[in-house]
């Protein structure tokens, strides 16, 4: 038997319970993992609260991230006793995920725990940190360098935003953080932000082109904020779009793209190929300062996750929530 958060459909919506399940209830798969750490991402919060259509198979054990030890494996590349991580791939969406003491996944999804990071640290980063790394790598690939000019990070106090600031500042970029919580300025400066701007600067409809200010941007918000960011990019600027915390729409014009050569790069962490995943995790392990990471993490247990999900969607969580699995 093992403990798991379990989400079932009801006539009025859904119900989340912490319950005991049998190992035989686990889905098919060649690798069984004793989960030690997970994390609470925006997507997990949508799944736990039912506020977004994340769950695609019912009932579901949510949790898009997990770190743990391999308990059984019939996959040649995954060894019993090995420390592994799994993120994305539909974990916690179409496939039972990390909010449980046991998980079973296809062996190809399991990556060796990145060298230099322990399970808690990997989950402190989790999908949010991994996505921040993918955004930074995309900026670099598209030619944005520290000398190109300031780089904007929206949703700065959240998970993706916080890690993006840490990484960019570590790489020598001048980072400008955009937040709806100006009281978090000291925190954002401690992560490495040179300046902090209020979100309100980006939430009113922008002209097709605004003053050209940013060489690069990491946007987790979408909606009007993403449109305003695009309108204020410098010529040849690069925007990475990974989130929708402020909305799914994109009320923009083509002006930044055809008159300033701006590039909009979409980031998808779920289906990222294995090799790129390993590279991104290796770079994260290299660039992250563990004590800075500790400062942006709060630890919760499985039973606290539903309430924490409400807090996260209300915009009250700073940095990352790591979930301790007993
Ligand atoms: P968090 O909740 O940790 O951070 C989101 C931040 O966005 C908040 O902290 C807040 O920052 C800001 N925000 C919240 N609500 C609003 C709003 N209504 N309008 C504008 N800004 C808002 O979430 P994550 O960092 O984990 O994820 C951020 C986004 O990225 C989510 O949409 C998530 O689904 C997406 N994502 C996408 C991935 C992909 O593969 N494409 C992978 C991971 C995440 P502040 O208070 O500082 O303004």
Ligand 1 in reach of 319 Cβ (< 6 A): no
Ligand 1 in reach of 125 Cβ (< 6 A): no
Ligand 1 in reach of 41 Cβ (< 6 A): yes
32 close to 70: Cβ distance less than 8 angstroms: yes
* Chain centre distance of CA 21: 28
**Rounded average pLDDT over 139-164:** 98
Region for residue 149 given its phi and psi (left: phi exceeds 0; alpha: psi -120 to 50; beta: otherwise)? left
Residue whose CA lies nearest to ligand 1 atom number 24 = 159
SS3 call for 288? coil
Ligand 1 in reach of 220 Cβ (< 6 A): yes
pLDDT, averaged across the chain = 97
- Other CB atoms within a 10 A radius of the CB of residue 311 amount to 15
Residue 79 is given by DSSP the state -
Beta bridge partners of 253: none
Ligand 1 in reach of 129 Cβ (< 6 A): no
Q: Where are the domains of the chain?
A: 2-113+296-324, 126-266
- In sequence order, the 6+-apart residues with CB closer than 8 A to the CB of 136 are 164, 167, 168, 171, 218
188 close to 179: Cβ distance less than 8 angstroms: yes
Ligand 1 in reach of 156 Cβ (< 6 A): yes
Asked if the model's pLDDT at residue 156 lies above 90, the reply is yes
Task: Give tens-digit pLDDT for 1-30.
Answer: 999 999 999 999 999 999 999 999 999 999
Confidence at 205, pLDDT banded by 50, 70, 90: confident
User: What topology is assigned to 2-113+296-324 in CATH?
Assistant: Quinone Oxidoreductase; Chain A, domain 1 (3.90.180)
**Cα diameter, the chain:** 61
240 close to 164: Cβ distance less than 8 angstroms: no
Ligand 1 in reach of 302 Cβ (< 6 A): no
CA dist 324 to 40, 66, 142, 270, Å?
11, 10, 37, 23
Task: Give tens-digit pLDDT for 104-136.
Answer: 999 999 999 999 999 999 999 999 999 999 999
Asked if the model's pLDDT at residue 69 lies above 90, the reply is yes
Residue whose CA lies nearest to ligand 1 atom number 36 = 243
Residue 288: phi, psi to the nearest 5? -80, 135
**41 Cα: distance to centroid of ligand 1 (angstroms):** 9
Confidence at 306, pLDDT banded by 50, 70, 90: very high
Ligand 1 in reach of 223 Cβ (< 6 A): no
Closest by CA to 40, choosing from 13, 5, 82, 15, is 5
**Rounded average pLDDT over 263-270:** 98
**Rounded average pLDDT over 247-259:** 97
Q: Comparing 2-113+296-324 with 126-266, is the CATH topology the same?
A: no
- Other CB atoms within a 10 A radius of the CB of residue 139 amount to 26
What's the pLDDT score for residue 51? 96
Indicate the pTM of the whole model.
Answer: 0.98
Residue 155 to residue 223: CA distance in whole angstroms: 12
**315 Cα: distance to centroid of ligand 1 (angstroms):** 8
Residue 190 to residue 295: CA distance in whole angstroms: 9
**DSSP string for residues in 25-56:** GSPP-SEEEEEEEEEE-HHHHHHHHTSSS---
Domain 126-266 bears CATH identifier 3.40.50.720:
yes
Confidence at 206, pLDDT banded by 50, 70, 90: confident
Confidence at 243, pLDDT banded by 50, 70, 90: very high
């Amino acid at each position: 038997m093992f403990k798991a958060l379990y989400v079932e459909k009801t006539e009025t919506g859904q119900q989340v319970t912490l319950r005991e399940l049998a190992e035989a209830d686990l889905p098919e798969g060649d690798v069984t993992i004793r989960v030690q750490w997970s994390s609470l991402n925006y997507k997990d919060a949508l799944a736990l609260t039912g506020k977004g259509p994340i769950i695609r198979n019912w009932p579901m054990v949510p949790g898009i991230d997990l770190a743990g030890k391999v308990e059984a494996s019939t996959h040649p590349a995954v060894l019993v006793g090995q420390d592994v991580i799994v993120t994305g791939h539909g974990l916690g969406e179409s496939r039972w995920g990390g909010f449980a003491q046991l998980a079973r996944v296809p062996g190809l999804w399991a990556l060796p725990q990145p060298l230099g990071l322990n399970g808690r640290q990997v989950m402190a980063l989790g999908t949010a940190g991994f996505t921040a790394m993918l955004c930074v790598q995309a900026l670099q690939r598209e030619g944005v360098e520290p000398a190109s000019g300031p780089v904007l990070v929206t949703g700065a106090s959240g998970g993706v935003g916080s890690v993006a600031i840490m990484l960019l500042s570590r790489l020598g970029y001048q980072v400008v953080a955009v937040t709806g919580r100006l009281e978090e300025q000291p925190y954002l400066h401690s992560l490495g932000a040179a300046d902090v701007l209020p979100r309100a600067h980006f939430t009113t409809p922008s002209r097709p082109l605004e003053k050209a200010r940013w060489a690069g941007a990491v946007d987790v918000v979408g909606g009007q904020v993403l449109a305003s960011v695009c309108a204020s990019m410098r010529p040849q600027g690069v925007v990475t779009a990974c989130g929708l915390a402020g909305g799914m729409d994109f009320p923009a014009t083509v002006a930044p793209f055809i008159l300033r050569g701006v590039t909009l790069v979409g980031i998808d962490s779920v289906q990222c190929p294995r090799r790129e995943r390993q590279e991104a995790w290796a770079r994260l392990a290299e660039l992250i300062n563990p004590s800075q990471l500790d400062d942006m993490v709060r630890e919760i247990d499985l039973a606290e996750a539903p309430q924490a999900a409400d807090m996260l969607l209300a915009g009250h969580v700073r940095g990352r929530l790591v979930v301790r699995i007993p």
